[in-house]
Structure 1
Amino acid sequence: MTDTAQEAQQGRAGDRLALPVAEVDAGALRFATSGDTERALGIGAFHVAVPEDLDVRPGLEFCRTFYQPRGDDPTDRHRGHREHGHPASKLGYEDRPDQVEQLQLESFLWQEYLPDEVTAVLRRMRQLTLEILYGVFDAVRVPETDRDLITGGARQDTGLCYTTVNHYRSGLSDRAGIVEHSDSGFITTICTDQPGYEILHEGRWLPVRERPGHFTVNLGDAFRVLTRKLPRPVTAVYHRVPELRPEAGVPDRSSCTVYMGPRYDMPLYQYDAEGNLREYQNFRDFSVKKAGKLGYDFHSRV
């Protein structure tokens, strides 16, 4: 039995879910065994080792400051994002109905709105996320010739790629930390500083066993739709963070992510049972309907 399989058994027994573990080596996504790959696709989530040359601390430090007032320094890019407006972005700051307030910015705007050291972290995470995305395409045998069309040009950064910077406001009671949901796009790479992430697994909400030095990767609805009729379908992981409560001496939970998905002006695609690629639904329409079900307004500028 592999270490990951042993951890999975122990995780279920202790009501904590141990996710499969992978690394990106020379641009390729590698799990220890084919069984770990199958389990990752079935859960829709796994851990990926943080590359040795990536220091995520500037990103997490930004999570703890972005919502604070800017003060007297007009050049301060660490603070003041709640009031900024980010006019070039179709996303920007959002005060959600759960505990999260978040800043979402498209990848082509990182340099314009974010501190240089934060942009550097996100660009490295973006490259890693792209390599993971293509590794999952390899695992489910999506032809190389279809990938630019399906993603809207992820390799060229003409698909939809953005960061979400999250501050969990533990002082807001009687709310979920973040409401249960699946991500709409293909993939989200998550960097966080505290536990709290839970997955709906085999009918039960289970906290995920934290793995220091690793990102958590979510697979989303675009993958579920694309592969649903293929021999190796991908699960869109249903996940949440339950209500977080203030704890003396412990800062609020923070996380930052890199998300990749289709553009809102293009369709989701799906393979039929014969392996032919067909248009499924406009991605914006899909996203608007989903946002309504989750109880929040879709981005008004999209």
Structure 2
Amino acid sequence: MTTPNSRTARALFHPDTARPPVSLPPMPGERQARTAYPAVDLERSRIDGDELLFEREGGFDRALAMGFFLLRIPEGLDTDAGDRFAAHFHEDPAGDALDRYRGFRDTHVPGDYQGYFDREHDQWENFYIEKGNWPLLPSEVAALGHRMTGLGIDVLRAVLRHVDVPPHLWNEVSGGLSDHGGHQMLAFNHFRSRKATRGCKFHRDSGWVTVLRSTEPGLLALIDGELGAVNPEPGCFIVNFGSSLEVLTSALPRPVRANVHGVVSTERPEGRPDRISYVTFLDSALDGTVYRLDEGRAHPVQSVADFAAQEVTRTYDDDGAL
């Protein structure tokens, strides 16, 4: 990922998208986090046709305000291939059956914001790959990516409907994503416990919807001014909303929150596997526009390219501020 330096990024900051600074504590280790931060009571949901259904009355609106919720993994959607890829993509080939999931540090992926990244300031190491390059992945991993992005787009369309965004504007304001275009990215994460630093910096996702596969606690989020643990549940994805959706709905009666979140420092005894996770990031096409909806009209705010540069720098730098 090509990351602009901080000076360039500050020049791109837009008052409608940068948002005021947020004061946060240093990212704790996982043992400290377990005792210091209670679990958030997440809303639970499922997709039924084109509907996003929540278990509790009022759950949809609470999920929009929290910025996070649990989504049941549909029957027949197998996450095993993604779990294997996330556990091994960073390794060198070893001459066994898992080699088809290894060696991706050296894989050239064409296009911006893609390929392998060794994060200087974080335990994170990542492999990012956009939909057009998924043929480079094992076929079962690519198939999982298509299922996860389909779920995320179903969520997006349900949210736009719920907050009364006129349907004739969906394609325009989402940069084609609502009609299965836009920018669909798979991102695989390995947290290196032997690296004595934070797991990943507190940040907001820049796009529309993120669908996360995680199997253990460690994700913290700032909700209603308090940090809490956003813990996974078996059989569910964690879904969170991105800044493009927050900006679009900021003037609506039911705005959507893109809440700040990050991952604790992973601590492991010798021999225990490191933390892994993977997500689909769903965003507008990079040549598109970020909009704000007001009185039924879509108002252009900032180019997606400038918005991405602004948000990327704040996600991966080491200044401790957001």
Please state which band the TM-score falls in when normalised by the shorter chain. Answer: 0.7 to 0.9
The answer to whether the 8 Å contact 2:166/2:296 transfers is: no
> Cα distance 1:225–1:171, how it changes in 2: closer, same or farther (>3 A)?
same
Pair 1:234-2:281 in alignment: no
TM normalised by structure 2 equals: 0.82
Aligned to 1:293: 314
Aligned to 1:57: 80
Paired residues, number: 281
Pair 1:129-2:183 in alignment: no
The answer to whether the 8 Å contact 2:109/2:133 transfers is: no
Match of 1:281 among 296, 302, 320: 302
Return 131-140 or 32-41, whichever deviates more: 32-41
For residues 72 and 89 of structure 1, the distance between their equivalents in structure 2, rounded to whole angstroms, comes to 31
For residues 101 and 265 of structure 1, the distance between their equivalents in structure 2, rounded to whole angstroms, comes to 27
> Cα distance 1:275–1:191, how it changes in 2: closer, same or farther (>3 A)?
same
- Residue by residue, what CA displacement relative to the aligned partner does 1:228-267 show, whole Å, maximum 9, x if unpaired? 0111100002111111112344311111111111122111
> Displacement of 1:209 after TM fit?
3.5
Match of 2:128 among 71, 87, 104: 104
Pair 1:152-2:175 in alignment: yes
Pair 1:214-2:217 in alignment: no
Aligned to 1:187: 209
The answer to whether the 8 Å contact 1:182/1:237 transfers is: yes
Aligned to 1:3: none
Structure 2 regions of 5+ residues with no counterpart?
Answer: 1-36
TM normalised by structure 1 equals: 0.87
Aligned to 1:10: none
Match of 1:256 among 278, 286, 291: 278
The answer to whether the 8 Å contact 1:89/1:106 transfers is: no
For residues 33 and 18 of structure 1, the distance between their equivalents in structure 2, rounded to whole angstroms, comes to 12
For residues 268 and 186 of structure 2, the distance between their equivalents in structure 1, rounded to whole angstroms, comes to 26
- Residue by residue, what CA displacement relative to the aligned partner does 1:138-163 show, whole Å, maximum 9, x if unpaired? 11111111111112212443301110
Q: What are the equivalent positions in structure 2 for 1:10-159 lying under 5 Å apart?
A: 15-70=38-93, 76-87=99-110, 90-96=113-119, 97-111=121-135, 113-159=136-182
Aligned partner letter, 2:203: H
> Displacement of 1:80 after TM fit?
0.9
Aligned to 2:269: 247
Aligned partner letter, 1:202: D
Higher relative contact order (CA 8 A, sep 6+): 2
For residues 169 and 71 of structure 2, the distance between their equivalents in structure 1, rounded to whole angstroms, comes to 25
